């Protein structure tokens, strides 16, 4: 199932979001910075936590679960659930910002810091980017410099409880400084690459980087 994840199907949401990208929906033209502006431009706060995905929410048992870390690293590894939980455990608190304009403050997370995973696999100097692949076939790309952010966490818990299946459990990435589409749910493969190549939404009109404070919602062309 995870060896050759097929491209997710066209869905109503995909079509709508492609249309938004084409129209430049939600762009305010303002630029703000996290130090001065906690809430990025064009965002509003929510108290609940909306669910957004391509409509397939895979159910992965602890037996089936694998995290495959490969590509431009010295020590490629495939971890099972027990091995993943044996990595150093950490807790963080962060805000999340979705490109569909909602933000949610002060989420508490528990899991493995991305930096601890990097210490384990030793990315090579040639590694510039990562491609993330999930159990539902979703892909998204990141520059290694973004993936290696201090607060990036491979999260298993939210607010002290295991992350639910709809929010990407048993494990998802949380990368607070970029729009939430970069935070792959049901993550199963991290491939280190020399070149930054577009993932699913990035091929569908969304920005390669996705910085909320400079409203990098859509690709330039
Ligand atoms: N595997 C996977 N991860 C995904 C997605 C998806 O469809 N599949 N959708 C992305 C998008 S577009 C958003 S906005 C967030 C939503 O996360 P949430 O449902 O926990 O709010 O997940 C991101 N991660
Ligand atoms: Mo999204």
Q: Are 146 and 208 in contact (CB under 8 A)?
A: no
Considering every ligand atom shown, identify the ligand nearest to the alpha carbon of residue 52 and give its number. Answer: 1
Encode pLDDT of 75-119 as tens digits: 999 999 999 999 999 999 999 999 999 999 999 999 999 999 999
Distance CA 22, CA 10 (A): 16
The phi, psi pair for 201, rounded to 5°, reads -70, -30
- Average pLDDT on 33-46 reads 87
> What tokens appear for 208 in the block?
């390669």
Q: How many CA atoms lie within 13 A of 77 on its CB side?
A: 15
Nearest partner of 9 among 213, 146, 191, 204, judged by Cα: 204
Cα 118 to ligand 1 centre (Å): 23
Q: What are the helix (H) ranges across 63-194?
A: 81-85, 114-121, 144-147
Mean pLDDT (the chain, rounded): 93
Residue nearest to atom 22 of ligand 1 (CA): 181
Per-residue confidence band for 3, with pLDDT thresholds at 50, 70 and 90: very low
The model's pTM is: 0.91
What residues flank ligand 1, with Cβ below 6 Å? Answer: 49-54, 98, 134, 136, 138, 167-168, 180-181, 183-186
pLDDT at 31 over 70: no
A 10 A CB-CB count for 29 gives 8
Kindly state the percentage of the chain with pLDDT values over 90. 82
- Ligand 1 pocket mutation pick from 165, 168, 188, 200 by most atoms within 8 angstroms of CB: 168
């Amino acid at each position: 199932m995870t060896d050759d994840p097929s491209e997710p199907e066209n869905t109503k949401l995909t079509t709508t979001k492609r249309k938004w990208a084409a129209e430049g929906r939600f762009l305010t033209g303002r630029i703000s910075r996290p130090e001065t502006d906690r809430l990025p431009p064009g965002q509003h706060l929510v108290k609940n936590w909306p669910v957004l995905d391509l409509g397939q929410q895979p159910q992965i048992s602890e037996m089936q679960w694998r995290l495959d870390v490969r590509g431009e690293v010295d020590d490629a590894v495939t971890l099972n659930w027990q091995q993943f939980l044996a990595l150093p455990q950490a807790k963080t608190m962060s805000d999340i910002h979705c490109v569909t304009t909602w933000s949610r403050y002060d989420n508490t997370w528990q899991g493995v810091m991305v930096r601890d995973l990097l210490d384990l696999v030793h990315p090579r100097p040639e590694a510039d980017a990562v491609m993330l692949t999930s159990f539902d076939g979703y892909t998204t790309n990141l520059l290694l410099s973004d993936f290696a952010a201090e607060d990036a966490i491979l999260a298993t818990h939210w607010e002290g409880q295991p992350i639910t299946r709809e929010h990407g459990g048993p494990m998802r990435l949380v990368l607070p400084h970029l729009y939430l589409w970069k935070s792959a749910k049901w993550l199963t493969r991290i491939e280190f690459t020399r070149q930054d190549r577009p993932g699913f939404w990035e091929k569908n009109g969304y920005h390669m980087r996705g910085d909320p404070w400079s409203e990098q919602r859509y690709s330039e062309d």
